[in-house]
């Protein structure tokens, strides 16, 4: 198994993937992502051999709201009921995932499938190695299908269809990879196997840094008095689209940025250099500026061209 690759009908060892009967599933954390994953699994329950999808949240009313939206068929009322399921999916902020692993990871049983949905992977994968027995089928995950809102009601129907779903191996465990890939396909998503460290480096530039840039742009237009009315009138589609991520829940964003702090800081330093280069081009005149913008346009096409559907958080 290499450090990067799409799972297309076979595992990293070249053997054909066989259909997995996923059995009973517990989703811990029923916000937007947990609700989205649960709804997708409920839709595929018969085909994927899913007996039940249980929902657990530290706020029971949130789990009940997700249940009402079709994200599961029952609410799990305590950690013991979570630990008894065949599959455990941790859909909380990264810090809460790591804390859950420290507390409950040693109690997971042999051959249970453990998957998370956190947007930073190195910290989670390290915690899985430390706290989870090697006989547990543990693997890191990250569905690239969220939006800037939060809570069960923010889950978009069908958002996982065709979306990239990262799988970051914890150990060289082909059974874990096969079963996690089947679960991802049951969600109608596309599994992408990538090392945790590589994931964090790349997602810092494609998903995490844009939150900081969006926040900075949102602040730049803030004014007061009569000028604020004019600014509102002039805030067109460019401002709205480039500042969309600034509308995200601050605590949620701060959590995953902090979890990937090292790579986000490196990306921010690189971004400053890019802005400096654009400033130099602006000072040099239209020809230099056009050339710099053409490089950026080509870069965007190179990154986005022909890629599977990816919805940024």
In a shared domain, residues 214 and 139 = no
In a shared domain, residues 47 and 161 = yes
Strand ranges inside the chain, DSSP E: 4-6, 23-28, 50-56, 74-75, 87-90, 113-116, 137-143, 164-169, 190-194
Q: Tens digit of pLDDT for each residue in 38-53?
A: 999 999 999 999 999 9
The tokens of 282 are what? 């602006």
In a shared domain, residues 179 and 206 = no
Q: What is the pTM of this model?
A: 0.87
Backbone angles phi, psi at 119, to 5 degrees: -90, 0
- SS3 assignment, position 3: coil
- Span 187-213, average pLDDT: 97
Residue 147 reports pLDDT greater than 90: no
> Domain span at residue 55?
4-195
**Which CATH number does the domain housing residue 186 bear?**
3.40.50.720
DSSP 8-class letter at 58: S
- Quote the percentage of the chain above a pLDDT of 90: 86
The tokens of 29 are what? 């954390």
- Span 214-237, average pLDDT: 93
**Which CATH number does the domain housing residue 262 bear?**
1.10.3660.10
Tell me the C-alpha distance between 130 and 206, whole Å: 29
In a shared domain, residues 133 and 260 = no
Number of domains in the chain: 2
Q: Report the candidate in 125, 270, 293 with the shortest Cα–Cα distance to residue 212.
A: 270
Dihedral angle, C-alpha 17, 304, 34, 84, nearest 10 °: 20
């Amino acid at each position: 198994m290499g450090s990067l690759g799409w799972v297309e009908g076979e595992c990293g060892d070249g053997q054909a993937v066989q259909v997995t009967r996923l059995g009973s599933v517990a989703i811990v954390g029923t916000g937007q992502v947990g609700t989205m994953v649960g709804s997708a699994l409920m839709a595929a329950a018969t085909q994927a051999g899913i007996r039940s999808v249980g929902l657990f949240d530290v706020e029971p009313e949130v789990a009940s709201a997700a249940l009402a939206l079709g994200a599961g068929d029952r609410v799990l009322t305590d950690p013991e009921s979570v630990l008894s399921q065949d599959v455990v999916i941790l859909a909380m902020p990264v810090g809460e995932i790591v804390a859950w692993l420290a507390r409950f990871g040693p109690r997971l049983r042999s051959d249970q499938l453990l998957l998370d949905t956190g947007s930073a992977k190195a910290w989670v994968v390290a915690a899985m190695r430390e706290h989870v027995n090697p006989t547990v089928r543990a693997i890191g995950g990250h569905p690239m299908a969220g939006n800037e809102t939060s809570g069960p009601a923010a889950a978009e129907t069908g958002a996982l269809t065709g979306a990239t779903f990262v799988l970051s191996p914890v150990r060289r465990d082909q059974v874990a990879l096969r079963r996690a890939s089947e679960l991802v396909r049951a969600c109608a998503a596309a599994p992408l196997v990538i090392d945790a460290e590589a994931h964090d480096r790349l997602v810092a530039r494609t998903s995490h840094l844009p939150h900081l840039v969006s926040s900075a742009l949102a602040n730049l237009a803030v004014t007061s008095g009569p000028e604020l009315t004019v600014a509102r009138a002039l805030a067109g589609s460019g401002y709205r689209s480039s500042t969309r991520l600034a509308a995200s829940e601050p605590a949620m964003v701060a959590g995953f940025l902090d979890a990937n702090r090292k790579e986000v800081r490196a990306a921010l330093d690189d971004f400053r250099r890019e802005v400096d280069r654009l400033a130099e081009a602006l000072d040099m005149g239209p020809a230099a500026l056009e050339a710099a913008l053409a490089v950026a346009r080509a870069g965007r096409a190179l990154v986005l061209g022909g890629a599977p559907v990816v919805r940024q958080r």
